[in-house]
A and B are shown apart, each in its own frame.
Chain A
Amino acid sequence: MSNSQFGGRVVQNITTGLQWIKNNPIAFFVECISIFFIILWTYAAESKLQDFELFKFQLGRSPYLENYAVIISRTLPIGELLIAISLIIPVTKKIGLYASFFLMFLFTGYIYAMLHYSYYVPCSCGGILNNLSWEAHLIFNIVVTLLSLIAILYSGKVTTRTSNIKNQKLVNPAH
């Protein structure tokens, strides 16, 4: 394949991709959110596992989690990785989105409870989020939870639309 042919193929692919986005904006939006969650969960799990002892220790300083620090420190990073994997596989993507919503909702509620009801607020975030204050973290989590909610609701529309197309084919086999 010559360079000009290769270049032509790339341009064609890009054009096709852009056309797909234009025709399927909702599906594209859901894909973007899924990719965002894959990166988020992978990063979150990696930063916890990288400094596992510190993560376990910091969980032990949370008034709500001090008694469950060991079990949560072991299961949470694995859970986050599983969610990331489920978001990559098309069949389990929806489950991954539900799990993302559930975990983000749980985290948001936890931060809210820590800020409003806890007598002691430790620092327990990893990676870049460590630079966020608890209030900023709460806002970030609310936004991300809403994103997962939107993705789930819109992914329903995408599925419905696809199944409608399939149904049309079944009804009208001549096409």
Chain B
Amino acid sequence: MKRNVLILFGLTLLAGAILFVLNIASSRSNEKKNGFIRTIVNNVLQEKGQLEIPTDVMKIINVSNDTVYLQTNDPELIYYTTDFLELKKLKFPFNKTHKFKSLFTSYVDYPNVYILGGNARRTFKLNLTKAEIDSTNLLIPGAFGNSVHINSKEWIVRYIDSATFNSQFARVNIGNGQFVTEDSISPRLNDAGFTNDGILVHEENTPYLSFIQFYNNQITLFDTAFIVQGRFHTIDTCFSPGITLRKDSTGVTNSAPPHMVNGPSAVENGYVYVHSYLRADNETQNQGLLIIDRYDQKTGKYINSFYLPPNREKHLLGLYISNNNLYALYNRALVRARILK
């Protein structure tokens, strides 16, 4: 028995050493200095609460009248909290398919729940009080994501054309399934949208949308009529995409791990809030805190940066700002903080 334990101990040490070496040898470009300076402001946020959440939560859908709605990996289940003390369930069975489940976006405008299936190219509108379901097939010529609710009839989505593998934004009418495509925002790269992938954010009751790219520093501001209002960049120096692709007859995918520049983002009161993965040269001691860079939405001007409240989770899944409250979604936690300045 003693010999067994000794051998097991030795094997554990060996495995640990291998993992340690792999970790040291892996490219950690996001943790080194990246050639830019941040203006870091302290005491921007005042933490107002933290809620433990199940691991099936995928994103913050929206915040309406201080009720936070959370999308899960099941289109028929939404979590919500009104008091930030307890998570409640909204369960609404509808005729979903496996294809629908693979890619979808929800939006809650109580009592209406909208669900757009990006792969199924189908939309459901459910009225929870009347138990009514409307469904529309969308005529869009490819799978779509980055779906943003504009009004009760229209959404803006980023779709991949099945024939050309080009990615474009489209305004979709969920009443009749018709759509209008832009032709001046996205370059035609036949890359299934990988190179310029990003996150589309929109502030309710404004016509503006900001598209923040993941693998380079571009931000594109355009309106709901697809007129480009400005092309800006975040404060880092990543002008070209840190991504390599493999294209073959089956499709397009990454051929190496992409280097993320920017991630979850949000917009409110004319400011765009961007979570950057890059460390600035003047961030000598950030204690592993996650940074948010703030920009003027209309001019693209960098305002300042601040850290999110400390959390044991280090991967930010989503960011949402409503009524000067910032909501940060992690793997197992939802944090609410008041923006003080």
Contacts and interface: CB of A to CB of B under 8 A. Distances in A.
Contacts of B133: none
Interface in A89-127: 98, 101-102, 105-106, 109-110, 113, 116-120, 122
Nearest to B73: A133
B314 interface: yes
A64 B231 CA distance: 35
A119 B28 CA distance: 8
A34 interface: no
B277 interface: yes
Given A153-B1, A156-B1, A62 B18 contact: no
B206 interface: no
B90 to A, nearest CB: 23
A106 B277 CA distance: 28
A101 B4 CA distance: 12
A102 B12 CA distance: 7
Contacts of B28: 119
B319 to A, nearest CB: 17
A84 B262 CA distance: 44
Nearest to B7: A98
Contacts of B176: none
B12 A63 contact: no
Given A98-B7, A156-B1, A62 B257 contact: yes
Interface in B265-319: 277, 314
Interface in A24-50: none
Interface stretch (B19-27, B40-48, B101-109, B221-229): B19-27
B55 interface: yes
Q: Is the interface of A mostly helix, strand, loop or mixed?
A: helix
Given A60-B256, A64-B26, A102-B14, A157 B8 contact: no
B16 A66 contact: no
A69 to B, nearest CB: 9
Contacts, number: 70
B22 A57 contact: no
Given A63-B27, A98-B11, A102-B11, A120 B19 contact: no
Contacts of A116: 314
A149 interface: yes
Given A98-B7, A101-B11, A109-B16, A64 B23 contact: yes
Q: Counting chain A CB atoms within 10 Å of each CB, which of B30, B254, B260 scores highest? A: B254
Contact of A60 (B7, B16, B255): B255
Contact of A120 (B8, B25, B257): B257
A48 B8 CA distance: 27
A65 B277 contact: no
B175 interface: no
A160 interface: yes
Contacts of B260: 119-120
Nearest to A107: B15
B4 A122 contact: no
30 contacts: A57-B246, A60-B255, A61-B254, A61-B255, A61-B257, A62-B257, A63-B27, A64-B23, A65-B22, A66-B26, A67-B25, A98-B7, A98-B8, A98-B11, A102-B14, A105-B11, A106-B18, A109-B15, A109-B16, A113-B22, A117-B23, A119-B30, A119-B259, A120-B257, A120-B258, A122-B254, A135-B55, A149-B8, A153-B4, A157-B1
Interface of B: 1, 3-5, 7-8, 11-12, 14-16, 18-19, 22-23, 25-28, 30, 55, 246, 254-260, 277, 314
Given A57-B255, A119-B30, 6 more contacts: A101-B8, A106-B19, A110-B22, A119-B28, A122-B257, A153-B1
Interface of A: 57, 60-67, 98, 101-102, 105-106, 109-110, 113, 116-120, 122, 135, 149, 152-153, 155-157, 160
